[in-house]
Chain A
Amino acid sequence: MAIRTPFADKRVLILDDQPDMRSTLRSQVGSLGCENIAVSATVKDSLEQLKTNTFDVILCDFYLAGGTDGQQFLEYLRNRRIIGRDVVFVMITAEKSYESVVTAAECLPDDYLLKPFTADTLKSRLQRLLEKKIRLAKVDQMQNKGNWPEVIAACDEILAAKDRYYVDVLRIKGNALILSGQAAAAIEFYQQALAMRPLPWAKLGLAKAFQQIGDPARSKQTLEQLISEAPKLMVAYDMLGHLHQAAGDNQAALAVLDNACLISPNSLARHRAIATVAEGQGDYSRVEQALGLVIKKTRNSPLRETHDFARLGNALTEMGEPDKAVALLEEARTTFKNDANDPLLASVEAIAQQRAGHPEKANEALQRAMQNDPSKLPEQSVMAIAKACLTIGQQDAAQELLKNLVQSNPDSTELHGRVSTILRDNGAPELAEQLVSESIREIIELNNEAVKRAKAGDLAAAAEMLTDAANRLPGNLQIVANAALALFFDIHANGLDPAKLQAAQAFQQAVLNKAPSYPKLTEMAELTKRIRGKYAPGSRQ
C-alpha cells in the first residue's frame, strides 16, 4: 500500500527557466508525496497551465528568462485575480535582495526560499504555509470577495488568540480598515501597531489613513519620514508622488518618482506612474519616454499591458505624430486579439486615425470602442471614448457619455473640470460650462420628482424612476441608495415582488461595498426587518 502524505492531494506548479533546477525541484516536490505536479519553463506556459488547472502551491524562481522576473509574474497573477489568496506562492531565489521584497503587501509572495535548500526544508516550509492558509481561510475567502467588514471580523477572531499569526493578521486588518473606509479607526489602529514596533508597513498604512481622512499634510509628513527610514520602500515614493500630483504639484511628483527610479530602475510600476503624472501635466514627450521603456521591456512578454500601448499611442498623437501612433496601435490591436475592443485602445486609435487622415478607419475604431456598456467602464475609458466622439464629430454621443459621467459623480469638481476641459479642447467650447451644470440640475430634479411622487403615495412610480436612474448611474451613491429605499418602501406597501426585492438588495449591496458607513444603510436595514416581519410565514395579517 502506498503511503499517503498530507501533500498527496496538493497540486503544485513549478516555474523555473533552468532545466536542472526544474528537475531538481520536481524530484524534491515528488519526494514529499505530491502526485499532481506541473512543471513549466516560461511564464507563458505557466499562464496556460493556470487557465486550465487550479493549483494549491506555486514554486517560482525569481530570475526568469525573457525580460521578466518572478515578482512581475506574481503581481500579474494577483492584480488580474488569476490566483486567489488561498494559493501558496513561494519565490525561490539565490539571494534575497531587499529591493525585490519591498512591494505592495498584496503582491508579496507567501515566502522566500533561498537556494540551495533540502527537500526537508521545502517540506517544513510548505507544511507551515499550508497550516497558515488553513488558519487564515476565512480571512482569505472574505478578502477574495472584497467583503472588508467580514475580513475585519475574521481578523479580530484570530487576533484574540494572540498566536503566531498575530502580526500577519494585524497587517491584513489595517488594510481592511482602509478599504472599508474606516479611516479614523485605521489611524488609531496603525498608531497602536507603531507603538509596538516601527514597522514600515504600519507607517505606510498610517499615511494612507491620513490621506483618506483628508489630511494630506500629515500623510506627506509620514511618508517623508518613512522614506528617510526605509529608502528602498518603493510604494512610499509612489504614494508621495500621488499626493503631490493631487495637490497640483506635478513638478514635485516627478521629482519624487525620478528619485525612486534611480533606486529601483527595473520597476515597471514606477515608469507607469511617471507617465500618469506627465499625462496630467500635458508633458507627452515624458510620457513617450516612460511608456516607451515599459513597452520595450515587456513587448515580447505575456505580461505586457494593452493600456501601455494605448497611452503611448495617445502621447504620440498629442505630439503630432499620428502616423507613428497608428502603426503602434494597429500592432497592439492585431497582437492582443482579445483586447481589440478595449475601449481605451480603440478610442485612442480612432483619434489617431482621424488625425492621420483615415476617417473611415477612425469610425471603425470608434465603433469598436462603443461596443462596451459605458456604465460599466472606468472613468478613464469613458473620457477617452467621449474625446474620440468629439474628434470625429459625434457630439451627441460625447455629450451623453459625459453627462452620465458627471451625474455619476455629482460632487467631484475635479472631474467636472476635466469634463469641461475635454469639451473646450475638442471643438465644443460652447458646451464646456453648460453640460456640467445642466447634468447636475437634471439629476437633482429627477431625485426631487421621485421624492414628490413617493410623498404623494405613488411609491411604484418613484421606485421605477430611481431604478432606471441607478442602472444608468451606478456610481452615484445617492441615487443608488434612494433607489434601494424606494423599492423597499414600494415592497412594504404594495406586496412582495421578488424581482423588486432582488433589485433593492443588489442596490443595497452596491452601497455597502462602496461606503460601508453610508448613513442610509441603517434605514435600509430597518425597512428590511419590517418587510421580513410583514411577509414572514406565520405573521400573515
Chain B
Amino acid sequence: MNFVDLAAVTIHDVKNRLAVLANRAEDQGDSATMRGVLEAAATLSRLLALYKADSGGLLSDIEARTPADLLAELAAEFGKQSALHFAVELSAAPNLWFYDENLVKMVLQDALYNALRHARREIRLSAVADGEWLEFSVHDDGPGYPPNMLDQALAIQPISREGTGLGLHLAGRVAALHRNGGREGYVRLSNANGARFSLLLPK
C-alpha cells in the first residue's frame, strides 16, 4: 500500500471517529466541541485535497447544482457551531449553476471557519449571478483582511513555509478547475466593513 492509499484509509478511519464525536456533541447541544470536531475533520479533507491538487489528481465533478441549497446547508451547519448570526442572501441566486458541490463546499467551509475567528456579530453568505459569473461570498463584520493579503494574485498562491495560506491556495486551485468558454474561476478578497471572501465561477 502506498502512502496516499494509507493516508486515505487513515483519514476515513479518523473521520468515522470524528463523526461519532460530532453526533454526541450535537445531541448534547455542545456547540463548542462540535465546532472543534467538525473543523478538525474539514482540515483533514483539505489536506487530502491539497495533496491531490499538487500531484495532479484533483479532479472535478461539475454538475448542475442549486446554490441556495448549498448556502442553506452551510448556514445551518455553522449556526449550530457558533453563537454568531448567519444571514443568507439569495435574492440574486440562480436556480442552477454548474460547479463541483463538494469542492466548493470545502472552500466555503474554510472561509467560514476563518470568518468565525474574526466576526463580531454576524456572517453573511450570498450567491449572486450576473449572467456570466456566479459569486459565492462569505462576508464577516470583523476588522477585515490585512492590506498585504489584498494585494496578492490569488488564482494560484504559493504555500508559505509557515503553513499560512493553505486554505487560500486550495481555494485558488478549486476555482481554477471551474472552466468554461475560455474563462476560469478565481478567488477575490476584499474589505467592506469586514472581510469579504468571494469565489467566482464562470457560467
A residues within 8 Å of B by Cβ? Answer: 18, 20-21, 24, 27-28, 31, 63, 94-98, 101-102, 112, 114-121, 124-125, 128, 162-164, 166-168, 197-199, 232
Interface of B is mostly: helix
User: What are the residues of chain B within 8 A of A117 when measuring CB–CB?
Assistant: 19
- Mark contacts of B26-43 with chain A using CB atoms, 8 A cut-off: 1 yes-contact digit, 0 otherwise: 110000001001100100
Pick from B64, B76, B95: contact of A168, CB under 8 Å: B64
Q: How far is the CA of A124 from the CA of B80 in the complex (A)?
A: 14
Q: How far is the CA of A31 from the CA of B24 in the complex (A)?
A: 12
Q: How far is the CA of A120 from the CA of B60 in the complex (A)?
A: 26
User: What are the residues of chain A within 8 A of B38 when measuring CB–CB?
Assistant: 116, 118
User: What are the residues of chain B within 8 A of A162 when measuring CB–CB?
Assistant: 95
Pick from A98, A102, A115, A232: contact of B41, CB under 8 Å: A115
User: What are the residues of chain A within 8 A of B19 when measuring CB–CB?
Assistant: 21, 24, 115-117
B98 on the interface (CB 8 Å rule)? yes
User: What are the residues of chain B within 8 A of A120 when measuring CB–CB?
Assistant: 76-77, 80
- Decide: A121 near B76, CB < 8 A? Known: A20-B20, A116-B38, A167-B63: yes
User: What are the residues of chain B within 8 A of A198 when measuring CB–CB?
Assistant: 180
- Decide: A94 near B16, CB < 8 A? Known: A114-B45, A116-B22, A167-B64: yes
Q: How far is the CA of A20 from the CA of B22 in the complex (A)?
A: 12
Contact yes or no, B72 A124, CB < 8 A: yes
Contact yes or no, A27 B27, CB < 8 A: yes
- Mark contacts of B66-79 with chain A using CB atoms, 8 A cut-off: 1 yes-contact digit, 0 otherwise: 10010011001100
Q: How far is the CA of A321 from the CA of B23 in the complex (A)?
A: 57
Extra contacts, 5 of them, besides A118-B22, A164-B66 (Cβ < 8 A), are A95-B48, A96-B102, A116-B23, A116-B38, A232-B59
In the complex, 23 of the A-B residue pairs with CB atoms within 8 angstroms, ordered by the A residue number, are: A18-B16, A20-B17, A21-B19, A21-B20, A24-B20, A28-B23, A63-B12, A94-B16, A95-B48, A96-B102, A97-B8, A98-B60, A112-B102, A115-B16, A115-B41, A116-B15, A116-B38, A117-B19, A118-B34, A120-B80, A167-B63, A197-B98, A199-B63
User: What are the residues of chain B within 8 A of A115 when measuring CB–CB?
Assistant: 15-16, 18-19, 41
B74 to chain A: closest residue by CB: A121
Shortest A265–chain B CB gap in Å is 12
Shortest B185–chain A CB gap in Å is 14
User: What are the residues of chain A within 8 A of B192 when measuring CB–CB?
Assistant: none
Contact yes or no, A95 B76, CB < 8 A: no
